[in-house]
Structure 1
Amino acid sequence: MAIKDTPEEWRITATATPFTGNKTSVRTDEVVMPDGSTVKRDYQVHPGSVAVLALDDEGKVLVLRQYRHPVRHKLWEIPAGLLDVPGENPLHAAQRELYEEAHVKAEDWRVLTDVFTTPGGCDEAVRIFLARGLSEAEGERFEVEEEEADMELARVPVADLARGVLAGELHNNCLVVGVLSLLAAQSGDGLDALRPAEAPWPARPFQA
């Protein structure tokens, strides 16, 4: 049997949206189980996200430290952000986030991995890109606000990040998945064998 996730959708007999926020909402579906019974499933409806593992020529990863109120932590993360418009090209969104959060551009873009962050309670899908050939972006820096106004930036060797992940010192989902995926790619077929930046993404279809 091939170890591969497959799309499937069980029948929904009723649905409601008891909460709608600025970017996400909560939905309640009545879902028919294989034995014919019906159960309610509550989950967060999310527009989707992109993240960027930006790797410089010295083998260091661009990371930022930001306060995350739900978990009451300042977390080291890689640049990331929401898909602001339905059907938005995820590469364009990733390039925007790298510019806005780090004032950096990249020459070489690849898809590092695609993940569902919390599939038991949220439909968020994230595409994590690998960006190489880094340089400072032209023009004025993007004006940040709220939590981002307190953001710190650093460039950290991949090995140091991996040690932090395995030691339980780094917890951000995209950083953890991105760093470990990078190491897997480097020890496997190499970074140039990664999927192209415009590879299809069935979880969040887009126009090229």
Structure 2
Amino acid sequence: MTEPLADVPGSRPVLTTHERFVGKVWDIASDEVDLGEAGVVTRDYVRHTGAVVIIALDPEDRVYLVRQYRHPVGAECWEPPAGLLDVADEQPLDAARRELHEEADLTAATWHALVDYCPSGGGSSEAVRVYLARDIAQVPEHERHVRTDEERDMIGAWVPLDDAVAAILDGRIRSSSAVAGLLATDRARRDGYTSLRAPDAPWTRPEATRLVR
């Protein structure tokens, strides 16, 4: 291979789309996809808004994690602050700032794009950008977000990055946002964070992620 390793953008023609389910957060669709010589196939998938994840890192190499109940997997999962891209006209970095404020009572002065990933490209259009946030400060008590619903009982903690990585490799932490974000942070730390991208670096994600309720 002579060219840099990279995904190749380009969707196949969709002959028909059937809306199977319209939900509170995302939908389920069935597309009849023309694969050319391979024929026409049906692909069912979750049409997702997309999301942002924030790895907040302090000068002591600790990351801020929250423990939140995740009903589909039946567990309270340790993961970084995160949120959906479900606010009209909100830019991803602005969404990340908002989620860090709302879920962790934190702000950050320095932001970089850390890693982009698709959690389940075979069954969901979800695209995720992970940001590294540094130069952290606490949100004043009177400006803090009042958390409700599943976020009401979230527990937050500063955890040494090395301990968090060990928990992933031991199988004790399984959230995809934690696995991708924390391992990418560990990798970036090894090269002195010289591989980080600008927070507004180009991000290839499908149009289907841009749904807003």
TM-score class normalised by the smaller sequence: over 0.9
Give the aligned partner of residue 48 of structure 1: 50
Shift of 1:202: 2.4
Shift of 1:105: 0.3
Secondary structure, in 3 states, of the residue corresponding to 1:74? strand
Gapped regions of structure 1 (runs ≥ 5): none
Q: Are 2:87 and 1:103 aligned?
A: no
The CA distance in 2 between the partners of 1:14 and 1:131, in whole Å, is 42
Compute the TM-score of the two structures, normalised by the length of structure 1. 0.94
The CA distance in 2 between the partners of 1:185 and 1:84, in whole Å, is 29
Q: Alignment partner for residue 66 of structure 1, among 60, 68, 72? A: 68
Cα-to-partner distance string for 1:51-105 (whole Å, 9 max, x where unaligned): 0000011110000001000000010010000012355211100000000001100
Q: Alignment partner for residue 165 of structure 2, among 148, 162, 166? A: 162
**Residue type matched to 1:178 in 2?**
G
Secondary structure, in 3 states, of the residue corresponding to 1:41? strand
Q: Is the 8 A contact 1:52 1:128 kept in 2?
A: yes
The CA distance in 2 between the partners of 1:30 and 1:131, in whole Å, is 41
The CA RMSD measured in Å over matched residues stands at: 1.6
Give the aligned partner of residue 127 of structure 1: 129
Q: Is the 8 A contact 1:65 1:76 kept in 2?
A: yes
Gapped regions of structure 2 (runs ≥ 5): none
The structure-2 alpha-carbon separation of the partners of 1:204 and 1:35, relative to structure 1 and needing over 3 Å to count, comes to closer
> Quick one: percent identity of the two aligned structures?
40
The CA distance in 1 between the partners of 2:89 and 2:151, in whole Å, is 26
Cα-to-partner distance string for 1:9-42 (whole Å, 9 max, x where unaligned): 1111111111001110001000112424111000
Give the aligned partner of residue 13 of structure 1: 15
**Residue type matched to 1:146 in 2?**
D
Q: Is the 8 A contact 2:65 2:80 kept in 1?
A: yes
The CA distance in 2 between the partners of 1:55 and 1:204, in whole Å, is 29
Shift of 1:146: 1.2
The CA distance in 1 between the partners of 2:10 and 2:119, in whole Å, is 18
Q: Which moved more, 1:86-95 or 1:65-74?
A: 86-95
The structure-2 alpha-carbon separation of the partners of 1:204 and 1:191, relative to structure 1 and needing over 3 Å to count, comes to farther
Q: Is the 8 A contact 2:188 2:194 kept in 1?
A: no
Q: Which moved more, 1:127-136 or 1:4-13?
A: 4-13
The CA distance in 1 between the partners of 2:29 and 2:89, in whole Å, is 21
Compute the TM-score of the two structures, normalised by the length of structure 2. 0.92
Aligned residues: 205
The CA distance in 1 between the partners of 2:6 and 2:115, in whole Å, is 14
